[in-house]
Chains A and B, each alone.
Chain A
Amino acid sequence: MAELITYREAVSRALAQEMRHDPSVYFIGEDVAAAGGVFKATKGLYEEFGPLRVRDTPISEEAILGAAMGAAMTGLRPVAEIMFSDFLATCWDLVAVEIPKARYMTDGQVSLPLVIRTANGGGLRFGAQHSQAVENWAMAIPGLKVVAPSNPKDVIGLLAAAIRDPDPVLFFEQKSLYPTKGEVPDGEIVDELGVASTLRQGSDVTIVALASMVPRAVEAADELDSMGISAEVIDLRSLVPLDTRTVIESVKRTSRMITVEENPRLCGWGAEIVSIVGEECFWHLDGPLTRVTTPHIPLPSEAALEDEFLPSVARIVEAAQKVVQA
């Protein structure tokens, strides 16, 4: 049996699944309890698990992540919500300097089985301070695992895997995907971090995408197909651990690759993929490795402007055509 649910519903389903599975899982954040989260992604948890395990915090991001870190090192498996990923900047010390280094600096004395969930990315006309796609910030820090699902089934499976993981995981929920629907099977779903999905087989070009860019890449592949170009679409699903094997094996067959990312141009995760593929697949390539990104600008609020600058299906199609015809 399978059920059609939204990406948003998948978040609360995953949390409920894991809180039932493990009594040491606690969930904290701003407006997450009775209010069910500003994106309503945690609806029902407070009612089922009560005020001790689903707890509202003040607007104090450092206090939220500090609580998660201290609790993780002393026997809990906390999940902390940072409402918008832009707000990670207000607690960046915890994200970048404290959490990822604790195990290493202490020679393995400290374990941090914690998850930071956050709503990431643009498309909702929120303007430049509530629309950033910042998964590449997290990817740059040794000691953090970085996950960004593209569909409801992956939200459940990967969030469960993140909560069960013994290391700190930054879990990026792309907020434009919250209303999107997908089929999920009944019963417990627990996936594996660091395994990419090949969503579509193809022979001319590999399109590597993440989160909100995945449905666009799939749509682009459909259009390319009608133009006689066979595109393979890979959903990376996690940036750390990074499934380079799936990407490299694909590019060795297709001999061409484009990456599609929501990050602004400089130092987006696509640059890292291009670098790895350039180094390890160079002699298999028949076209330039190409990145489709948001331009290197803050994201504007107005609808037409925002739509113009986030990577669109048309831009992906155009980039793929160019690479194939090169």
Chain B
Amino acid sequence: MTATETPTEAPPRPDADPQDVQLALYRQVVRLRRFEERAYRLFMEGLVKGTSHLSLGMEAIAAGFGEAMRDDDYTFCTYRGHAHTLARGTPMAGVMGELLGRASGVCGGKGGSMHLTSVEHGVMGSYAIIGAHLPIANGAAWSAQVRGSGQVAVCFFGDGTTNIGAFHEALNLAKVWELPVVFVCENNLYMEYTAIGDVTAVEHPAADRASAYGLESIIVDGNDPDAVYDVATTAIERARSGGGPSLIEAKTYRHGGHSRADPGDYRPPAEVEAWLERDPVPTYRTRLVDAGVDEAVLTEIEDLAQADVDAATEDAKAAPTPELQAAYRDVWADGGASWRN
């Protein structure tokens, strides 16, 4: 395990009581954990078709940023996007419905697990082509910049993305135009099935590239909700105040494999063991208890999260699949699919 560090600059704390922030972060990580566990079970039961990419073990990153973002900020995420979509406040029922391919899903069943989107919650899409959404996040940031809206785009991606051209094109343009965008590399040490270190020229796939684009090298413990929240708050504030883009590398670990079909058994058992001990959910719970938070408060958060997941599951199971005609809707802005007269 590589040592992690947080930026030296003290992050501006919001007006909220620090303990309220911590409880909100705990609520986030628990909800994301419970949701992903349920998603995994539903995949295994065959209720969800296709593929799935879970954030089990990586919840602290979505939680920390989700809490640090303003309601009208933009999230751009990848096919591993359930957590980021939920962390912005997208209702669980709509996300679960989408996973199950129901008309009640956030995309009416036409997107699926890899394309969760909820524009009303600032979730501007989950992109399934490596690197594609970094340039697109720039576009939203550019738009916010010229409109003077003060919005920030936050773009999440994996360590494997740092080796594709779009990553480099996007970082360069973001810096040249000083865009209000925060790039967040979720470095879970594996690009799909291959150790990132085996295929990358530098030790820290994102942070070591930062200087090439005039950016500060930032590494954060991606399993620590407080640390992520702090680094997120700093970077978002910088972007919002005209200070330009940031690139953050959050070190974390997948509890499972790359996708549904992958048991992840190419990973050394000792490595898996060590990271499971750093599971962001129980470790954060212990921190809060040690800080004097009443356990009953935490238990209530956990029970509520479980109840929400149960309700979302029932809602999705009860919802109809989309009508066949839906396949011909929304190719064009007129709502249809016609290409000829």
Q: A residues touching B (Cβ–Cβ < 8 Å)?
A: 26, 52, 55, 57-58, 60, 62-76, 78, 93-94, 97-98, 102-111, 113, 142-143, 165-167, 194, 240-245, 276
B337, chain A: closest CB distance, angstroms: 7
CB distance from A1 to the nearest CB of B (A): 33
A73 contacts B169, C-beta separation under 8 Å: no
C-alpha spacing A63/B166, complex, angstroms: 7
Q: List 24 A-B contacts (CB under 8 A).
A: A55-B177, A58-B172, A58-B173, A62-B169, A63-B170, A66-B169, A67-B173, A69-B136, A70-B136, A73-B124, A73-B140, A74-B124, A74-B140, A74-B144, A97-B132, A98-B127, A103-B332, A106-B107, A107-B111, A107-B329, A110-B117, A110-B124, A110-B125, A166-B332
Question: Which of B127, B173, B338 meets A60, CB within 8 Å?
Answer: B173
CA A241 to CA B136, docked complex, whole Å: 26
CB within 8 Å of A: which B129-178 residues: 129, 131-144, 146-147, 151, 153, 165-166, 169-170, 172-173, 176-177
Q: A108-B335, A109-B118 are in contact. Are A62 and B165 (CB under 8 A)?
A: yes
Known contacts: A58-B169, A58-B172, A62-B169. The answer to whether A110 contacts B119 by CB under 8 A is yes
Chain A min CB distance to B82 (Å): 16
What is the interface size of chain B, counting residues whose CB is below 8 A from a CB of the partner?
54
State A69–B341 Cα separation when bound (angstroms): 28
Tell me whether A62 and B332 are in contact (CB under 8 A).
Answer: no
Q: How far is the CA of A165 from the CA of B334 in the complex (A)?
A: 10
Instruction: Determine whether B110 belongs to the interface, using a CB cutoff of 8 Å to chain A.
Output: yes
Which residues of chain B are within 8 angstroms of A103 by Cβ–Cβ distance? 330-333
CB distance from A25 to the nearest CB of B (A): 11
Task: Give Cα A194 to B334, complex, Å.
Answer: 14
Q: Which residues of B contact A (CB under 8 A)?
A: 74, 76, 106-108, 110-111, 115, 117-120, 124-125, 127, 129, 131-144, 146-147, 151, 153, 165-166, 169-170, 172-173, 176-177, 329-335, 337-341
Question: What residues on A are CB-neighbors of B141 within 8 Å?
Answer: 70
Contacts of A102 in B (CB 8 A): 125
Closest-CB distance, B182 to chain A (whole angstroms): 14
Give the distance to chain B from A89, nearest Cβ to Cβ, in Å.
13
A240 contacts which chain B residues (CB < 8 A)? 339
